[in-house]
């Protein structure tokens, strides 16, 4: 135990929150997409997108690092809260603060135009993370984004079959809010699109 010990991030899923069975979904008539058989109004957002049901048991069991909890990611992303401590993320006149895996060689003005599922971060949590984890300095990019509008959702896509909807692929997909395929997506995470970005670490 020391002062730079990493805390369990707010968005990290805990073992007590793991869902062991596949979601029970039905397909609506006339190719209108997927639904829960016992759906309630809270299962969809204001755009009509169907969301995965996830248990809430933060702090119970063991943290599953690398597994992001759907409801907490969604809250942090929507309200621009720090992904680690859930306080408001840092922002200044240049924009909101983010730390991302460093892919700045991918395209010339990376990460402009990128859809991301990582919520932003606050300065104390960024400093703590980079101090406790030297690899973060080299493997990650620290970004300011002047605009980062909500742009879509990430989730599992389904295909209609005669015996009900089936997962199209084991890999999560990111869909923009204007995609007609949203009818067939069970959303896990909110996506923001980074624009007008500045990379802060050389």
Does residue 157 belong to the site contacting Zn ion (CB under 5 A)?
Answer: no
3-class SS letters over the chain: CCCCCCCCCCCEEEHHHCCCCCCCCEECHHHCCEECCCCCHHHECCCCCEECCCCCCCCCCCEEEEEECHHHHHHHHHHCECCCCCCECCEECCEEEEEEECCCCCCCCCCCCCEECCCCCCHHHHHHHHHHCHHHHHHEEEEEEEECCEEEEEEEEEECCCCCCEECCCCCEEEECCCHHHHHEEEEEEEEECEEEEECCC
Question: Given candidates 122, 175, 185, 191, which one binds Zn ion under the rule CB under 5 A?
Answer: 122
The least distance separating Zn ion from the CB of residue 76, rounded to whole angstroms, comes to 10
Residues in 67-86 at the binding interface with Zn ion, rule: CB under 5 A? 82, 84-85
**Size, binding site for Zn ion by CB under 5 A:** 5
Does residue 57 belong to the site contacting Zn ion (CB under 5 A)?
Answer: no
Question: Given candidates 77, 125, 157, 182, which one binds Zn ion under the rule CB under 5 A?
Answer: 125
Does residue 187 belong to the site contacting Zn ion (CB under 5 A)?
Answer: no
Does residue 145 belong to the site contacting Zn ion (CB under 5 A)?
Answer: no
Does residue 116 belong to the site contacting Zn ion (CB under 5 A)?
Answer: no
Does residue 126 belong to the site contacting Zn ion (CB under 5 A)?
Answer: no
Does residue 97 belong to the site contacting Zn ion (CB under 5 A)?
Answer: no
Give whichever of 84 and 187 is closer to Zn ion, judged by the CB atom: 84
Binding site for Zn ion (CB under 5 A): 82, 84-85, 122, 125
């Amino acid at each position: 135990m020391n002062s730079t010990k990493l805390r369990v991030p707010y968005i990290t899923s805990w073992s007590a929150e793991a869902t062991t069975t596949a979601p029970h979904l039905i397909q609506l008539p006339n190719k209108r997409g997927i639904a829960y058989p016992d759906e309630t109004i809270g299962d969809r957002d204001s755009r009509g997108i169907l969301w995965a049901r996830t248990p809430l048991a933060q702090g119970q069991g063991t943290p599953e690092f690398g597994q992001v909890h759907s409801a907490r990611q969604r809250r942090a992303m929507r309200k621009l809260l720090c992904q680690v401590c859930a306080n408001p993320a840092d922002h200044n006149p240049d924009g909101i603060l983010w730390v991302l895996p460093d892919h700045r060689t991918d395209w010339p003005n990376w990460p402009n135009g990128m859809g991301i599922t990582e919520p932003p971060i606050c300065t104390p949590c960024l400093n703590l993370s980079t101090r406790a984890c030297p690899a973060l300095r080299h493997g990650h990019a620290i970004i300011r984004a002047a605009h980062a509008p909500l742009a879509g959702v990430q989730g599992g896509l389904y295909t209609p079959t005669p015996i009900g909807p089936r997962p199209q692929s084991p890999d999560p997909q990111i869909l923009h809010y204007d995609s007609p395929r949203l009818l067939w997506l069970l959303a896990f995470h909110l996506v923001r699109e980074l624009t007008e970005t500045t990379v802060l670490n050389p």
